[in-house]
Amino acid sequence: MAVLSVSQALNMALREEMGRDDRVFMIGEDIKDSTYGVTRGLWDEFGPKRVIGTPISEIAIAGAVLGAASVGLRPVAEFMYMTFMMCAMDQVVNQAAKSKYMFGGKAVLPIVYRTMAGAGRANAAQHTQSLEAWFAHVPGLKIVMPSTAYDAKGLLKTSIRDDNPVIFIENKVQYATTKDEVPDTDYTVPFGVASVRRTGKDVTIIGLQRMVEIALEAADHLAEEGIEAEVIDPRTIVPLDLDTIIKSVKKTHRVVIVHEAHERVGFGAELVAQIVQHAFDYLDAPPARVANPNVPTPFNRILENLSIPSAAQVAQAVRGLMR
């Protein structure tokens, strides 16, 4: 057991899975040297046939892993930024996501699409988008969003062993800043099981990825005012652990959802719809969302910070519900 950052935990998961199963390989841009450290050292250990650097062509990466998976390999594709996945949407959405259904369940496509999202590093509008709602809309894809180093390792190992395409979303700020104890043993974290990061009786706060940390910070401030918030981390949004969410809302009667994606048609809207459908009679106030205010992420640091949900905004949303 050691205290690791998210990038170190992901690196450990990849090393363990590549050592465990020689069908697992990695492919993507800049994975030999690894700007964020996730794949650092793996090229030296496993060689260029299993850690494959590519030209800047996301559609080529997506096509290569689709073919490799269809003949029995277990590829892990890296797209440096989630925005770049737009270039590969046909291969991911029209081919990988639909092939199992179109071939009557016979197609086995164990593909992991690793990518990063979120703002906070002055990467401007084309390198910060959180597009999880796009992919959650598509049947046939599983969507994973870890918020801790422990979960990052366990969920990545689960993703690699799954026989279906998985969109594995990492938060670029959390690579270095989020640290916790991670076992150096083999373990997995199951899909579709949310984590209650803090228990409370007055309001439920649902956070996606880095926003779990923001929700916990807001909960600390609210506790000083006598408001006890329950914080839920879905961990995966497809499949979604709706039971844990509904159970919490039925207890607290209020809910705030926070994510970095734009508010308009973000995944928070789907969560609100599900909560209203399954727990409407338990709500004492309309569900609230705290999200990006429907603007491209600014390059300017001050403006960028204003576009990212804050603990103060979450706490204010909770106070509004309590009134």
Q: Which residues are catalytic?
A: 58, 127
DSSP H helical ranges for the chain: 6-20, 42-46, 58-70, 89, 97-102, 132-136, 149-161, 174-177, 211-224, 242-252, 267-279, 301-307, 311-322
Q: Name, in order, each residue with C-beta under 8 angstroms of 233's C-beta and a sequence gap of 6 or more.
A: 147, 194, 195, 196, 197, 207, 212
Rounded to whole angstroms, what are the CA distances from 258 to 103, 119, 281, 290? 38, 14, 22, 5
- The contacts of residue 243 (CB under 8 Å, 6+ apart) are none
- C-alpha triplet 292, 293, 296: angle, nearest 5°: 75
**Residue count (the chain):** 323
CB within 8 A of 296, min separation 6: which ones? Answer: 125
Q: What token pair was written down for 3?
A: 């205290």
CA angle 175, 231, 268 (to 5 degrees): 80
Could you tell me how far CA 303 lies from the centroid of its own chain? 24
Q: Whole-angstrom distance between the N-terminal and C-terminal Cα of the chain?
A: 45
C-alpha–C-alpha distance, residues 240 and 273, integer Å:
13
